[in-house]
A = this chain, B = another copy of it.
Amino acid sequence: MLNKLLVAVSIILNLVLTIHILYNNNSTTWNPTWTNRAAAEAEAAASVPCSGHGRAYVDGLGVLDSHKPPCECNNCYTGQDCSVLLKDCPVDADSGDPLFLEPFWMRKAEESAVVESGWHRMSYRYYKLGAFVSVELEMIIRELHSIMGNAVTDNRFIVFGTGATQLIAASVHALSQTNSSYPSRLVTSVPYYNMYKQQAEFFNSADLMFEGDASAWKQCDNITQVIEIVTSPNNPDGKLKCAVLDGPNVKTIHDCAYYWPYFSPIIQPVDEDLSLFSLSKTTGHAGSRFGWALVKDEAVYKKMNTYISLSTMGVSRDTQLHALQLLKVVIGDRGDEIFHFGYRTMKKRWEKLNKIMSMSTRFSLETIKPEYCNYFKKVRDFTPSYAWVKCERLEDTNCYEIFKAAKITGRGGEAFGSGRRFVRLSLIRSQDDFDQLIAMLKKFVSKEAVVVVESI
């Protein structure tokens, strides 16, 4: 009897185990093959915690030797796992590194990952006899603008650039190609993004001359060959801007890199001859070097494309692949999650900053009146990328140096064509950078109160 039971149990167990094995082999789980190594490597890097104050990348320092990606610590953090906060460490509020969006992409790990094969688009051109641009990427950019309502793309050509940086150069070059023997004049409004001036002066084209502030040319009748760059929202001060000059001899470039709901209400779609956008300020991927221009005139479009071809033969296909995947995630829910996340982050940061600055009489910030945002469907504050700070005391002639002495590195007003009374502080960097900025500002401003008390 016991024997029979034993046999029965054993046979049942045999069946159960066999079914288990068969079921697992027949399951619909997909078995990675050639992507396995790369996937394991990426997940290994991603799983290094770096105490939340750093990041390990598959192409980190030393991976060629050890295969172990090390932590690259955020500013002011150190140690192998970035757990040590340096005391009295200088705060970096200089560049517009858009890392405030990094937490969003970490949350979207699965949706945003891309596997690039070793043979991915080795050719110079997309498709048979095609161009340097991915048609799908162009389509998704049009869709994004239509969802956001921040730019009209109908009847517009799209030019891709290695960052908006390259597109500034390409568009200025295209518009400066006149038949005149005199160079075109490039102007913009103070305060302005320094890149316009730097490029024009460094590339030193015989067809172009940087002439500074646009308003200086307002009184001139019969101005010819003027190219005005309008940055709206403006870098550094975040304001929405209009062209200062107009007339048949004025050509205008609209740099709309910051015209996203993170930073500004979307008042109406940009509907201009030539406007520029940047992935850096759309998804936060400054490192990918991708931007695009919306161009009405076919001749200008062709000239810009020639510029991009002769300069870099288009934009890296690796970059275009990555950008496509990122924008797929963005439009997946019609921008809902990323733009709400980004705006919430900026709003919180501005609230903290305003609270501190309101305690100061030494430093001031201009406020911009709230406006109705067509994307969020409500009246909202401006939450610009940068704080454009003015030093109000007579003796504070160099605002940059004053902040520098207080261990806050911003960007001096001179770089923007303004006086030294101004300094730009970046608010779109990583949370660590921002937290350090706020802590240091608090200290700085509270000292001011002490000084005031002492001087009474």
Binding site for B on A (CB under 8 A): 3-4, 6-7, 10-11, 13-14, 17-18, 20-21, 24, 30, 32-43, 45-46, 55, 57-64, 72-75, 92, 95, 97-99, 101-102, 105-106, 108-125, 127-129, 134-137, 139-140, 162-163, 165-166, 169, 173, 195, 198-199, 202-207, 280, 284-290, 306-307, 310-322, 324-326, 328-329
Instruction: Report the Cα distance A352→B95, complex, angstroms.
Output: 56
Instruction: Report the Cα distance A412→B140, complex, angstroms.
Output: 38
Query: What is the distance, in angstroms, from A123's C-beta to the closest C-beta of chain B?
Result: 5
Query: What is the distance, in angstroms, from A107's C-beta to the closest C-beta of chain B?
Result: 9
* Nearest opposing residue in chain B for A161, CB measure: B312
* Copies in the assembly, this chain: 2
A203 touches B113 (CB 8 A): no
Q: Which has the most chain B C-beta neighbours within 10 Å: A119, A127, A128, A129?
A: A119
Q: Which has the most chain B C-beta neighbours within 10 Å: A163, A195, A310, A325?
A: A310
Query: Which 3 A/B pairs are nearest by Cβ-Cβ distance?
Result: A112-B118, A10-B10, A42-B115
B115 touches A115 (CB 8 A): yes
Q: Could you say which of B11, B33, B315 contacts A289, with CB atoms under 8 Å apart?
A: B315
Q: Could you say which of B13, B14, B134, B173 contacts A59, with CB atoms under 8 Å apart?
A: B134
* Nearest opposing residue in chain B for A8, CB measure: B10
B163 touches A312 (CB 8 A): yes
Q: Could you say which of B32, B135, B137 contacts A43, with CB atoms under 8 Å apart?
A: B32
B328 touches A316 (CB 8 A): no
* Nearest opposing residue in chain B for A108, CB measure: B118
Query: What is the distance, in angstroms, from A209's C-beta to the closest C-beta of chain B?
Result: 10
A34 touches B46 (CB 8 A): yes
A57 touches B3 (CB 8 A): no
Instruction: Report the Cα distance A198→B198, complex, angstroms.
Output: 24
Interface of A, secondary structure class, is helix
B122 touches A118 (CB 8 A): no
A117 and B122 contact, Cβ closer than 8 Å, known pairs A39-B32, A64-B328: no
- On chain B, the residues within 8 Å of A74 by CB distance are 128
B40 touches A329 (CB 8 A): no
Q: Could you say which of B73, B117, B284 contacts A109, with CB atoms under 8 Å apart?
A: B117
- On chain B, the residues within 8 Å of A21 by CB distance are 17, 20-21
B38 touches A34 (CB 8 A): no
- Chosen A-B contacts, 30 in total, with CB atoms closer than 8 Å, are A7-B7, A17-B18, A20-B21, A32-B32, A32-B39, A36-B110, A45-B117, A58-B115, A60-B136, A62-B136, A72-B128, A73-B128, A74-B128, A95-B125, A97-B125, A99-B123, A112-B117, A113-B116, A113-B118, A121-B287, A122-B284, A163-B312, A166-B312, A195-B310, A202-B306, A202-B307, A287-B316, A290-B316, A315-B316, A318-B319
A30 touches B36 (CB 8 A): yes
Q: Could you say which of B37, B58, B99, B318 contacts A110, with CB atoms under 8 Å apart?
A: B37
- On chain B, the residues within 8 Å of A13 by CB distance are 10, 14
- On chain B, the residues within 8 Å of A285 by CB distance are 122
Instruction: Report the Cα distance A115→B117, complex, angstroms.
Output: 9
A97 and B75 contact, Cβ closer than 8 Å, known pairs A115-B41, A169-B311, A310-B203: no
B123 touches A105 (CB 8 A): no
Instruction: Known A-B contacts: A37-B111, A203-B205. Give 9 more (CB < 8 A).
Output: A32-B36, A37-B113, A59-B121, A59-B320, A61-B136, A102-B119, A105-B122, A113-B118, A202-B310
A140 touches B64 (CB 8 A): yes
Query: What is the distance, in angstroms, from A317's C-beta to the closest C-beta of chain B?
Result: 4
- On chain B, the residues within 8 Å of A162 by CB distance are 162, 289, 311-312, 316
Instruction: Report the Cα distance A11→B92, complex, angstroms.
Output: 68
A35 touches B165 (CB 8 A): no
